Amino acid sequence: MQVLVFGSLTDIVAPLPNDIICDNTEQLIGLLEAKYPAIKTTTYFIAVNGKMVRENTSLQPTDTVALMPPFSGG
Amino acid sequence: MLKSINERYSRQIILPGFGEAAQQKLQQAKVCIVGMGALGCPALQYLTAAGVVNMGIIDGDVVQLHNLHRQPLFFSNEVGALKVMVAKQKMQQLNPLVNITDYPFHIHPKNALQILSEYDIVIDATDNFPTKYLLNDACAILQKPLVYGAVSQYEGQVSIFNNNLNGGKNIQYRDVFPDPAATANIQSCEQAGVLGVLPGIIGTLQATEVIKFITGMGQLLDGRLLTYRSLETQFYEIELTKNANTVNINVTEFQQTDYQHICNAASTEESLSVDQFKQMLQQQLLFVVDVREMGELPHVNFVDHQIPYSQIIQAKNNLHIPVTNKNICIICQQGIRSRNAATIFQSKTLQKIFHLQGGLNAYFNS
């Protein structure tokens, strides 16, 4: 599946993983936290295929998951 | 006079679906822009040019040299002048019909409701989380739509919150980012940098949403968060959902809230395990501060800055926190002085401060 990261996460989740296979968003976050521990230091919400999700959501290999932190600059 | 007014706006009045009716609506609307920086300036300029003649601008800051790369409304010889005054004067030259109220101070829970209640729609052109939460809450109380904008390095976000008019989705900033304390470790432009042209694009998008809201044209970014990625030249859109757990705060709670504090509340110092430390070090995410006394061994080659713990204790009240766009991580021999130093550092900054658990002993024994 495709993982997209934005804002402060672009420095942390680098290089972007392209080989992640998992069943749901909780598993995905677990895998990402293991690979990029600094991800735990920030806040973000999750969107699956362009839609914000709040609960653990099942994932298909063709899905796109976005991790979106808030931005503060202006 | 009427002829010159029509001529001024003629190229938008002739637009299909715009016409004199839309122009009239712009002329009657009242828009408040909070923040006269890199987002607020372009929004103000385009709205003034478009004929939004009744506006309020709030900002207590003066023009600084490091603002100019992204705030070209201001000129080099205006460094030191109040932003709202310079902006107001220039907008009067751009469009003599404009009637701008300047508020040369920062918005605060004690003044926000009174000021914002005068306006139909509010633009969040601020550069910090405490004010973003404050504006969200004030607009939720007043039921005013809030056009949100924010930037981070090469990317920017836009949306419209608290829009409950005409079947609006009424989604709040707090529905999307519920925890102010969790924002403590997100860096500002000051810490992380920003491409100068980027907020120009985001502020202009905000102005576009305001024009659409006032005239009723098109589809608003209501319930949608738009993110612009300048390096990829891509727009990414996310459909937002309401959070059933979001609680609307009341006027009394609002006026008593210390927004600076709630955005910093959970930012207690955090320890990194040796593995986490090594990984973040390898990814060049850490700015390592050694608080051992001068001459303590072993020397390590990954220290970016040294302040002996004894000096931190002495200088407690005017301690200088290093300015860096990386995560500050404090180290010592055993992880005791570093924890105390991290607590002291943390009390001085919104940025999350880390320390190495177990110190260099743990690092070399792993």
Angle of the B40-50 helix axis to the B83-94 helix axis, nearest 10: 20
Chain A nearest-CA distance from B298, in A, is 27
Contact B42, B203 (CB under 8 A): yes
Residue-wise pLDDT tens digits, B96-121: 999 999 999 999 999 999 999 999 99
Put simply, the answer to whether B192 touches A73 (Cβ < 8 Å) is yes
- CATH number for the region B6-262 comes to 3.40.50.720
Question: Is the pLDDT at B265 greater than 50, yes or no?
Answer: no
Give chain B positions within 8 Å (CB) of A10.
153, 155
Residue of A nearest to B280 (CA): A38
Determine contact, residues B150/B133, Cβ cutoff 8 Å: no
**3-state SS class at B315:** coil
Query: What's at B66, amino acid-wise?
Result: H
A→B contacts (Cβ < 8 Å), by residue, are: 4, 6-8, 10-12, 14, 36-38, 41-43, 45, 47, 50-52, 54, 66, 68-74
Its ipTM equals 0.96
Pick the CATH number of A2-68 from 3.40.630.30, 3.60.40.10, 3.10.20.30, 3.90.190.20: 3.10.20.30
Q: Do domains B6-262 and B270-365 have the same CATH topology?
A: no
State whether residue B151 sits within 8 Å of chain A by CB: yes
Asked whether B149 and B167 are in contact (CB, 8 A), the reply is: no
pLDDT tens for residues B134-158?
Answer: 999 999 999 999 999 999 999 999 9
* CB spacing of B240 vs A43 below 8 angstroms: no
B295-348 pLDDT, tens digit each: 888 999 999 999 998 888 777 667 888 888 888 999 999 888 898 888 888 777
| Whole-Å CA distances, B23 to B125, B209, B292, B304 | 24, 15, 67, 57
Distance CA B310, CA B293 (A): 7
pLDDT level of residue B84 (50, 70, 90 thresholds)? very high
Mean pLDDT, chain B, rounded, equals 91
Per the CB < 8 A criterion, the answer to whether B291 and B333 are in contact is: no
Are B10 and B58 within 8 A, CB to CB? no
Task: Show the beta-strand stretches assigned E in B204-344.
Answer: 224-229, 234-239, 270-272, 286-290, 305-306, 327-331
Is residue A17 over pLDDT 90?
Answer: no
Nearest 5°: the CA angle B34, B15, B24 is: 55
Angle between the B19-28 and B197-215 helix axes, to the nearest 10 degrees?
A: 110
Q: Where are the domains of chain B?
A: 6-262, 270-365
E strands, B130-273, where?
A: 146-152, 155-161, 224-229, 234-239, 270-272
In this structure, which topology does domain B270-365 adopt according to CATH? Oxidized Rhodanese; domain 1 (3.40.250)
What is the structure's pLDDT at B322?
A: 85
Residues from chain A contacting residue B240 (CB–CB below 8 Å): 52
Mean pLDDT value across residues A33-46: 90
